[in-house]
Amino acid sequence: MMRNVFILAFNDLAFAFKNKTFLLVLFIPLFVFVTLNFVDETGEDTSKVRIGLLAQETLTPEVSESINAAETYIELTRLTSSEEGVRLLQERELDGVITSSEDASGSLVLLVLKRDSIQTLAIMQTFAALQKTAQGAAPDWISGIDSLHQGGIQRETLPTWVLMLVLLIGFVILPAQVAEEKEKKLLLGLLQTPINEVQWLLAKLILGMTLILTAVLFLHLLGKFGLVHLFDYMALLLAGSFCFSAFGIFLGFLCRTQASARTLGVIFYLPHLLPSAMSDVSEKFTAVAPLLPSYQLYKPLQSILLESASLADMTFDWIYLIVLGSMMCLFSYVLMKKRWLM
Amino acid sequence: MQLVVQNLAKLYDDKRGLAPTSFKVDKGELIAIVGHNGAGKSTLLKMLASWIVPDDGTVMVDGIDLKNRMALAGKVGFIPEDPNLFEFFSVEYNLKLFARLSRTPMSRVEKILDEFKLLAFRRSKVQTLSKGLKQRVNIGRALLADPALLILDEPTSGLDFEMTREIYLLLQSMHAAGKTIIFTSHRPEEIKSLATRIMVLHKSKLIFDGAPHEYFQSDIHDELYSL
């Protein structure tokens, strides 16, 4: 009996090797290892907090001297205007902007991107330590924290959930469906009728975009997330769903079977999701994420949903998404014409 | 309908496929292509059906290059060895889908369901049908647009004797209706009385092209199929 069990188990392993499931098994731990290195690595530069200070701002002598003396811990940038401070915060070039409080107490107000972030915590800890050294027990230098991101923790996570849905449908569901149509010769059957390749591609794009928009709408309904800048949000979602649907269709064309398509899909899914979604908690991810197409969707999503920005300020991002999607459509068309792996 | 094939070739990495091959098919012929597995039969038919892009050569259907797929859609019907139907959907759905895409009137679907004795299965999901029934649906679907040339890749593969006979009767009736038919078979004896012409492929090359009686009188059959 055990002999048969071993024979079957060996056959299953061989099957998993053949349909590339093993690649997935090896890829995921490798990916986690690389990710952990990105998050945990702490060097001299990463421990510095990056503070912006308006050029015309006058601080109390204790605060000013303490900040200047703590150059190992604080990287100070002089700002010409508060708008510049907001822009640098949004671009993750600064961790916080310090301004004097409007009351006459001489205390400071800290402006950050997210109230509940490790950057905010680092600034607060640094300032508390400086204050203790300079004055001992005294009222806090920083008396208030303002945040660019509006809404609570649930809303803060919304861009990540939306990105996850878009990438899940784009990289996991669509490639498997395209590969299934190839594997079962359904696509070739359809091409016996007077439809052309472009019509088939457009139908698949509509499918992908409909699935994405339905999933996002359902997420909003369940989470009772109110909509801000509806037009900008919808336009960005359309551009993003077009881009990642086209990407998914292309991945499907690279595979002969559904199993391969699922493996390839996950291999693309994780590296696109995590660096973008974790760019707020890791400086290295902040550096890597902009290189990924997913970040060109994630960043504008954050800006629209949390910072009430408009799409007009993100021309590069949505043009990038549309151009990339169009290129993927073109590649898919070429592979389809060649009857690639059909 | 006239089919002219010139130097059509497709070679795979393992050297199998089809060496440059030329032939001509006239209207109303019923051609059986025979040969062992891997002889190049399916490769030839798939190229004629535009399923595979040839390495070289041309195929003209009524003077129209096969590369002009849109102009030939509806003129050439291909039935693969394994039925490529949407398994989760019903027989009727499959036929109607292809009728809509081919801009064929829905009355044609009813006619096909009736002619192919599929009325009782119209609402059955394809995945619940036997292979013989699936093949009937597959042939019916290919005939929706009433193509002048019908290409069948091993239409009786995996079918029992009764079902095989049924398919051959179907081919005969389509031939009698004036269609040009090309099909492949492993079993020359079975198509003796069916085909008007036999082509033999062996090791990717066309080694015989003639009438059935010539084929069975020649040594080729014995050489290929003798034990």
Residue B129 has a CB neighbour count (10 Å cut-off) of 19
In this structure, the answer to whether residues A111 and A167 fall within a common structural domain is no
Cα A242-A245-A248 angle, rounded to 5 deg: 150
Supply the pLDDT for residue A190.
94
pLDDT digits (tens, 9 = 90+) for B157-204: 888 888 888 888 989 999 999 999 999 988 777 788 899 999 999 999
- CATH class for the region spanning B1-75+147-227: alpha beta
Q: Would you say residue A38 lies in a domain?
A: no
A207-218 as b/e, with b when 16 or more CB fall inside 10 Å?
A: bbbebbbebbee
For residues B181 and B171, the answer to whether their CB atoms sit within 8 Å is yes
Q: Are residues A89 and A229 in the same domain?
A: no
Do A116 and A175 lie in one domain? The reply is no
**Partner-chain residue, chosen from A188, A194, A337, that has the shortest CB–CB distance to B70:** A194
Mean pLDDT, each 10-residue run in order, chain A (342 residues):
82 80 82 76 64 83 83 87 86 86 77 83 86 77 81 82 95 95 95 93 95 93 82 95 98 94 94 85 79 94 87 90 98 95 89
Q: Which amino acid is at A119?
A: Q
Last residue of a domain, one of A131, A147, A163: A147
A192:B86 CB<8 A: no
Domain finish residue from A130, A147, A164: A147
Instruction: Report the DSSP beta bridge partners of residue B198.
Output: B32, B210
Nearest to B165 by CA among B143, B187, B149, B138: B187
Answer yes or no: do A66 and A203 share one domain.
Answer: no
Is residue A277 located within the same domain as residue A222?
A: yes
In angstroms, the CA B111 to CA B64 distance is 30
What integer pLDDT is reported at residue A223 of this predicted model?
A: 83
A282: tokens are 């890791």
Interface-testing mutation among A181, A184, A193, with chain B (most B C-beta atoms within 10 A): A193
Closest CA to A175 of A237, A296, A239, A268: A268
Per-residue pLDDT band at B49 (split at 50, 70, 90): very high
In the prediction, which pLDDT does B32 show? 95
Within chain A, how many helices (H) and strands (E) appear? 14, 5
The CATH number of residue A54's host domain is: 3.40.190
Examine the domain organization and report whether A135 and A219 are in the same domain: no
- Residue pLDDT, tens place only, B146-157: 999 999 999 988
Three-state secondary structure of B90-142:
EHHHHHHHHHHHCCCCHHHHHHHHHHCCCHHHCCCEHHHCCHHHHHHHHHHHH
Does one domain contain both A101 and A183?
no
CB of A112 closer than 8 Å to CB of A147: yes
Q: Which residue of B has its CA nearest to A194?
A: B73
Portions of chain B given CATH number 3.40.50.300: 1-75+147-227
**Domain ends where: A112, A147, A182?**
A147
Instruction: Give the nearest chain B residue to A188 (CA atoms).
Output: B51
Q: Partners of B33 in the beta sheet?
A: B184, B199
Q: Residue B73 carries which DSSP code?
A: B
B53 close to A (CB below 8 A): yes
Measured distance CA(A49)–CA(A37) in Å, rounded = 20
A325 lies in some domain? yes
Q: Could you give phi then psi for residue A263, rounded to 5 degrees?
A: -60, -50
pLDDT score of B101: 93
Does residue A162 share a domain with residue A94? no
Residues A160 and A303 in one domain: yes
- Is A190–B101 a contact, with Cβ atoms under 8 angstroms apart? yes
Note the pLDDT of residue B195.
Answer: 94
- Considering the domain architecture, whether residues A197 and A300 belong to the same structural domain is answered as yes
Measured CA to CA in angstroms, residue B93 lies from A39, A245, B227 at distances of 53, 27, 46
Are residues A137 and A157 both part of a single domain? no
Interface check for B80 against chain A (CB to CB < 8 A): the answer is yes
Whether residues B69 and A191 touch (CB distance < 8 A) is answered with: yes
Number of domains in chain A: 2
Query: Measured between alpha carbons, how far is B204 from B210 in angstroms, rounded to an integer?
Result: 18
ipTM of the modeled complex: 0.93
Chain B residue at shortest CA distance from A180:
B86
Residues B227 and B219: their CA atoms lie apart, in Å, by 14
Based on the fold, state whether residues A60 and A160 are members of the same structural domain: no
Residue A31 lies in a domain: no
**What does the alpha-carbon distance between residue A88 and residue A113 come to, in Å, rounded to a whole number?**
10
A317 domain residue, yes or no:
yes
Residue A255 token pair: 């595979």
Is residue B208 a contact partner of residue B200, using CB atoms and an 8 Å limit? Answer: yes
Residue A252 resides in a domain: yes
Provide the residue range defining the domain that includes A85: 45-147
Is the Cβ pair A193, B80 closer than 8 Å?
no
Residue A342 falls inside a structural domain = no
What is the Cα–Cα distance from A247 to A174, expressed in whole angstroms?
A: 9
The mean pLDDT of B11-39, rounded to a whole number, is: 93
